[in-house]
C-alpha cells in the first residue's frame, strides 16, 4: 500500500468518525430539547420522574430534600442555608452520616445508596420537593447559595396554593 493511499484512508476514517460524533451530539441536543418545555415564566424542565423510595415515603405533606456531597463547597453552603430556612429538612447523601455531624441537629441526614442512585447522574447539590410517597415533585440544581432561599420560598407558596398544609414544607422538610 502506498503512503498516499494510507493517508487517504486515514483521512476518510477520521472524517467519518467526526461525522458520527456530530450525529451523537445532535441526538443529545434533540433529547434535551424534548425535556425542556416552554411556559409563561420561561423555560422549565419537564416534571421529574424520580422516586427516592422507602426512606422518604410516609409522613404527611411534602418535604424538602437536599442531595449533597461533603466534597462540594456549594453543597455544604446549601445545606447550612437549608438548615436555617427549613429546620428538620432531609439531607440525602451517599456518605456516612457522621460526615455531616455539624448539621445533624437541624437536618435529618439520610445515608441511602439506593436513593442516591436515583439522582446520582445529576450534579450536586440537588434540591427536591418530595411528596409523602417518596416521589420527587419538583427538582432544582442550585448554582448559587441564594437560590436555596428562593426555591424554598417558592415551594412553600406552591404547597399553600395547592391547599395542603403549608407547614408541610416547613415542619416535615
Taking residues 115-121, report their average pLDDT. Answer: 83
Distances (CA, A) of 100 to 5, 9, 86: 62, 57, 16
Overall domain count for the chain: 2
Task: Considering only residues 135 and 171, tell me which one the structure prediction assigns the higher pLDDT.
Answer: 135
User: 162 falls in which pLDDT band (50, 70, 90)?
Assistant: low
DSSP letters for 14-62 = HHHHHHHHHHHHHHHHHHHHHHEEEETTEEEEPPP--B--GGG--SSS-
Q: Note whether 14 and 65 are same-domain residues.
A: no
Residue 128 counted as domain residue: yes
**Tens digit of pLDDT for each residue in 16-71?**
999 999 999 999 888 777 666 555 555 555 666 788 877 777 666 778 888 888 88
> Given this model, what pLDDT does residue 60 score?
65
Residues 60 and 140 in one domain: yes
Confidence (pTM) = 0.65
What is the pLDDT, as a whole number, of residue 16? Answer: 97
Average pLDDT, integer, range 116-143:
84
Per-residue model confidence (pLDDT) at position 4: 95
Confidence class for position 99, pLDDT limits 50, 70, 90: confident
CATH number of the domain where residue 150 is located: 3.40.30.10
49 within a domain of the structure (yes/no): no
Cα–Cα nearest to 64, from 81, 76, 42: 81
Please give the mean pLDDT across all residues of the chain. Answer: 79
Quick one: 39 and 65 in the same domain?
no
Amino acid at each position: 500500500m502506498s503512503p498516499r493511499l494510507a493517508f487517504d484512508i486515514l483521512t476518510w476514517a477520521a472524517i467519518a468518525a467526526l461525522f458520527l460524533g456530530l450525529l451523537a451530539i445532535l441526538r443529545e441536543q434533540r433529547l434535551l430539547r424534548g425535556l425542556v418545555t416552554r411556559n409563561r415564566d420561561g423555560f422549565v424542565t419537564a416534571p421529574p420522574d424520580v422516586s427516592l423510595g422507602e426512606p422518604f415515603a410516609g409522613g404527611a405533606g411534602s418535604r424538602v430534600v437536599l442531595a449533597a456531597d461533603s466534597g462540594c463547597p456549594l453543597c455544604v453552603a446549601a445545606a447550612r442555608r437549608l438548615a436555617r430556612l427549613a429546620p428538620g429538612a432531609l439531607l440525602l447523601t451517599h456518605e456516612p452520616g457522621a460526615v455531616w455531624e455539624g448539621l445533624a441537629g437541624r437536618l435529618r441526614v439520610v445515608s441511602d445508596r439506593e436513593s442516591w442512585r436515583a439522582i446520582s447522574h445529576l450534579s450536586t447539590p440537588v434540591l427536591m420537593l418530595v411528596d409523602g410517597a417518596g416521589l420527587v415533585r419538583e427538582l432544582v440544581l442550585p448554582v448559587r447559595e441564594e437560590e436555596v432561599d428562593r426555591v424554598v420560598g417558592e415551594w412553600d407558596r406552591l404547597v399553600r396554593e395547592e391547599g395542603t398544609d403549608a407547614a408541610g414544607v416547613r415542619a416535615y422538610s
